[in-house]
Structure 1
Amino acid sequence: MIENVYRTEDFPQEERFDRWREWMGRIHSPVELSSEYAEDFRARKRTLLLGAVTVWPSTVQPLVSRRTARLVRRSDPETYNLTLMLKGSVGAAWNGQEAVYRPYDLYSQSSSQPCTVQVGLGDRTVRFVGVEIPQDLLALPRKSADRVVGRPLPGREGIGALLTGFLTRLSADTHGYGASDGPRLGTVLADLVSALFAHALDAERDLSSSAHRRTLTLRIRAFIERNLHDPGLTPQAIAAAHHISTSYLHRLFQDEDGTVVALIRRQRLEHARRELADPARRAVPIHQLAARWGFSHHSAFTRAFRTSYGVSPSDYRRQRE
């Protein structure tokens, strides 16, 4: 996996906060930063690149981060940013709501929503592990995931504990992983975050009819993810596997991000794209990668890939060599 380190102490005292602001604007979505420690700002961040997912263990002095509506309009990478608190506390305000997060709380932000975060509430330093995930990689709709944004989630029990263990072990030692392990670990991490969000959504209300529909929809999404390699994955096959009619399946996805067919195509293309970028899969012919993810016709795969990503599969692979 690719790992980078950013340390303000590598620069003269008067340059440190400006360097930190520059790094944060380049690595993540643009924010306005201020700190009472700006004259001699101490901070350290490692970035672990896991394919499309980034993990960033960090230790910083107190600061305030503001992502305004103007900055959202100017640049939105459409990511969710999940944070595992390890030392110190953080306060956040968004959409008229406020919350405080303490050690072993997990909380998320969306690059698509304005938010103000005060890092360090009476602390001298704050330590945490951040995760940045493209919104499309979560196995649940954005409308659903957005309901979890800002909510404190327990990191010591259930799925939160699994995610905490994964992040702390990964952050502590990366020496045992190779470059091709990064995208695979990113997939595992995206699945864990999806499970955490889905668990939080299930717990927010009882088994009403709307909750049943949501749970069924999440099960169907998981089924689709497991069977993307099958060329016979059609709305009819999905409906039969879940003992519902095809028309009811389509109604379930009316409030989702597109149709069932579009979801299948988008997920297949994303998996194929990851494999095209994987150095360990470079020798595998493109038509075999396409077939592995359910594309029976190479020409149809090439057209769909170019439509989604703006380049042909072969050009995309060459760009990442």
Structure 2
Amino acid sequence: MPGDERPRRGRRRMQRGTAVQQTGTGEASVFLSTDSVSGPEGFGWWGDMVSRAVMPVSIASEHADHFKGEVTTLELVDTDFSAFSFSPMSARRTPDHIRAADPENYYLFLVHGSPIGLEQRRNNALLRAGDVALFDTSQPLACEFQDQGRPSRVSVLRLPRTALPLPSDKTDRLVATPLPARTGSGALLTSYLAGLRENTAHCGPTELRRLGTVALDLAVTFLAARLDSPPALPAESRRRVLLTRINAYIDHNLHDPDLGPATTAAHHHISIRLLHALFEEEPETVSATIRRRRLERSRTDLGDPRLRHRTIGEIAARWGFRHPAAFSRTFREAYGISPTEARTALHDKQPCTPRRGPGHRSLAP
């Protein structure tokens, strides 16, 4: 039957266009590209790949004869996160596609490149770089990736319906509408997803499992805020979301000398006792976390040739250390050498590895 031929051809083409990037721990992020499939066949392969990896769709493009596309997918527990880059095209999902296969997922996607026109459930949105939107595999949709002389770039997080503790009828109202994500939980979510894309190469299975769980928790919190409906998250999920917010706050305020447990707890409207309790299952205490991150930023600056004109005291002050002498003492305790020696070693490309400082906990059983 004609309907059976296309999947078989797509299976062969997917093997030709597939490469696997192994991480340092043996886990894999999957990289797919049209580079090994030339001409119009590459466009057909891309359509097959999208239909298999995301949901069945029909695609069209004025660039079909020389279509270029690539995607890297990080497979997490209960979800996955993918970064796409491809030539301008359009995609349609019809009732026939849905009857043929419905994975029953929502997808939260972030626009990085050219504008995207999205239509679903009588909602229409023109999404630009920095915008976030939601679509549903269980409803017909039309998506136009506009041609502005550069590739379309989007990142998508898969959200299984079964994993969302939100009422479907309310969540459905959010599809194909721009979702503000430049402040609050939206900014935290997009920042977290950007970090997933850039910093998971050496994560092991346990870390990836936790990272996927946090991604889902943050997505649920973000969507619930748009619905003005508190999510029915279990206590552990609420703890992870709060801990992620606290860690983001710490990262953004390392320059402030007053940053510490008291200011961190006050900012999040919790007691210092609760703050310390949140960190009991973490490798470090709150104070140790702040100290380590300040030292890491300082160490990076010491090795930056562009900052060679800055004194060690200036670099220390930049990351919240009030007194150069105290900074030098803390730095030596952490790295075994002085900041001056570290600066020389870093510029000479010699190793400068940290010790375990006060406040570090071993989580090994």
Residue 295 of structure 1 corresponds to which residue in structure 2?
Answer: none
Match of 1:143 in 2: 169
Alpha-carbon distance in 1 for matches of 2:182, 2:113? 14
Separation in structure 1 between the aligned mates of residue 82 and residue 159 of structure 2, nearest angstrom:
12
When structure 1 is superposed on structure 2, of 178-187 and 100-109 the one drifting more is 178-187
- Structure 1 segment 168-317 matched on structure 2, within 5 A: 168-202=194-228, 214-215=229-230, 218=231, 221-223=232-234
The Cα shift of 1:174 comes to: 2.0
Partners of 2:147 and 2:180 in 1: how far apart? 20
RMSD: 1.8
Q: Counterparts in 2 of 1:44-193, with a 5 A limit?
A: 44-193=70-219
Q: How far is 1:224 from its partner?
A: 6.8
- The equivalent residue for 1:41 is 67
Q: What SS class does the counterpart of residue 205 from structure 2 fall into? A: coil
* Preserved CA contact (<8 Å) 2:123 2:177: no
Q: 1:89 to 1:176 in 2, by over 3 A?
A: same
What corresponds to 2:58 in structure 1?
32
Aligned-residue offset at 1:192: 0.8
The 3 A distance-change label for structure 1 pair 60 and 115 is: same
Cα distance in 2 for partners of 1:222, 1:125 equals 38
Deviations 1:101-134 (A, max 9, x none): 0111100100011000001253421112111121
The corresponding residue for 2:245 is none
Read off the aligned partner of 2:91 and give its amino acid letter. S
Provide Cα deviations, 1:252-271, integer angstroms capped at 9, x if missing partner. xxxxxxxxxxxxxxxxxxxx
The structure, 1 or 2, with the larger RCO (C-alpha pairs under 8 Å, 6+ apart) is 1
Amino acid in the other structure paired with 2:233: A
- The amino acid across from 1:87 in the alignment is G
When normalised by structure 2's length, the TM-score is: 0.55
Displacement of 1:83? 0.6
- In structure 1, runs of 5+ residues without a counterpart are 203-213, 228-321
CA contact (8 A) 1:138 1:193 kept: no
- Check the 8 A contact 1:25/1:31 in 2, yes or no: yes
The share of aligned pairs that are identical, in percent, is: 31
Q: Could you tell me which residue of structure 1 aligns to residue 24 of structure 2? A: none
Secondary structure, aligned partner of 1:146 = helix
Letter in structure 2 aligned against 1:182: L
Amino acid at match of 1:222: L
Q: How far 1:46 sits from its partner (Å)?
A: 0.4
Give yes or no for contact 2:108–2:132 (8 Å, CA) kept in 1.
yes
Quote the Cα distance in structure 1 between the aligned partners of 2:163 and 2:200.
Answer: 23
Deviations 1:106-163 (A, max 9, x none): 0010001100000125342111211112111112121221121112112321111111
Q: What letter is aligned with 1:128?
A: V
Query: Does the aligned pair in 1 maintain the 2:69–2:86 contact within 8 Å?
Result: yes
Question: What is the aligned residue count?
Answer: 212
Unaligned runs of 5+ in 2: 1-26, 239-365
Question: How far apart, CA to CA, are the structure 2 residues paired with 1:226 and 1:127?
Answer: 30
Q: 1:226 to 1:184 in 2, by over 3 A?
A: closer
1:5-32 deviations in Å (ceiling 9; x for gaps): 0111122223210111111111111011
The equivalent residue for 1:18 is 44
TM-score, length of structure 1 as denominator length: 0.63
State the distance in 1 between where 2:233 and 2:135 align: 24
CA contact (8 A) 2:32 2:71 kept: yes
Code of the residue aligned with 1:118 in structure 2: it is E
Q: Deviations over 1:72-104 (max 9, x none)?
A: 122111000111111211001122221100111
8 Å contact kept, 1:41–1:61:
yes
**What letter corresponds to residue 157 of structure 1 in structure 2?**
T
* Distance in 2, Cα, partners of 1:226 & 1:84: 23
The residue type equivalent to 2:200 in the other structure is: T
